[in-house]
Amino acid sequence: MNAPEFPPKVSAGRFGEALWNPAAETPAGLVGPDGKTAPKRFNVYRNNVIVSLSEALEQSFPAVGNLLGADYFKALARAFVAEHPPQTPVLMWYGADFADFIEHFPPLQAYPYLADVARAEWAWLEAYHAEDAAPLDPNEIGTIAPDDVGQVRFGKHPASSVLRSAWPVWDLIRANRFDADADIAIDLESPQSVLITRPDVEVELLLLRPGGDVFVTALFGGATLADAAAAASGQAEDFSLSDTLSDCLANGVFTTLVKA
């Protein structure tokens, strides 16, 4: 008896190439019950993959979706998926490059603020899934001698980050995601920077005061309190050290206090 003939195995490389390139032929090893190449079956599978990834982007970037409208966002998502295959099997982490894609997508050049809205939403997602850590007890500041306070450094909470934007990103994301029913006036001439953190269960987005983005970024980089305050004051004349530091401590931005 002659041994049955089986179709050749399909390599992962050939399968992936055909999956992301609609113009590519169906791999010869993918056959139907009749033993023949099954392009219709493969096209259905390809479409399902693209739809699943597009829906993952919709879940991660609802504010961008609201700003663009459902139909445009779906088209944008499919364009992104075609150029950015997933690099991890964990679907929730798909879309790390979406903001950069939007920033350089020619049809959206008239809407430069969209990329920063996407960055804020990605920062929210990262904060939501960040490692848990106990926030710094604000009372620890009181244990430092007044002459030494300027030399302390702070340990960054794993969920904390700063988004510095030339656009009113805080108002845009509130109006299109968190406070959609509120009447929020948006001035595209007003830059805003946002602090993202998760001191407990809920992710918090806080509009930073003038100079706050410089101040917090410097502290995250290991600067002393005095040096961070000096940098912020140099950028914003109305920078308030006490108010900005109070905002940070109240929102669990730090985990540790390092004395000089």
Q: pLDDT per residue over 21-36, tens digit each? A: 656 666 665 555 655 5
Cα(181)–Cα(159) distance, integer angstroms: 28
The DSSP output letter for 176 is I
Cα(87)–Cα(198) distance, integer angstroms: 26
pTM of the complete model: 0.85
The position carrying tokens 């739809």 is 51
**259 & 135 share domain:** yes
Say how many domains are in the chain.
2
In a domain, 125, yes or no: no
**218 & 147 share domain:** yes
The secondary structure element, H or E, covering residue 57 is helix 39-60
Q: What is the mean pLDDT of each run of 10 residues along the chain (260 residues)?
A: 46 56 61 56 65 94 97 96 88 94 97 98 97 96 93 97 97 94 92 96 96 98 98 97 97 92
Nearest to 25 by CA among 46, 51, 48: 46
CATH number assigned to the domain comprising residue 227: 3.90.930
**163 & 219 share domain:** yes
Nearest to 82 by CA among 66, 97, 60: 97
In a domain, 14, yes or no: yes
**73 & 25 share domain:** yes
In a domain, 124, yes or no: no
Cα(260)–Cα(247) distance, integer angstroms: 23
Q: Which residues pair with 31 in a beta bridge?
A: 37
**67 & 30 share domain:** yes
In a domain, 119, yes or no: no
**103 & 181 share domain:** no
**182 & 102 share domain:** no
Report in angstroms the alpha-carbon separations of 119 from 9, 64, 122. 41, 10, 5
In a domain, 180, yes or no: yes
In a domain, 43, yes or no: yes
The DSSP output letter for 104 is T
155 with 254: CB under 8 angstroms? yes
Tell me which amino acid residue 150 is. Answer: G
> pLDDT at position 36, please?
52
**180 & 232 share domain:** yes
Domain end: 49, 76, 111, which one? 111
> pLDDT at position 51, please?
86
Residues of 45-73 as b/e, b for ≥16 C-beta within 10 angstroms? ebeeebeebbebbbebbbbbbbbbeeeeb
Domain of residue 72 covers 1-111
The secondary structure element, H or E, covering residue 255 is strand 254-258
> pLDDT at position 13, please?
53
**101 & 61 share domain:** yes
Cα(56)–Cα(129) distance, integer angstroms: 16
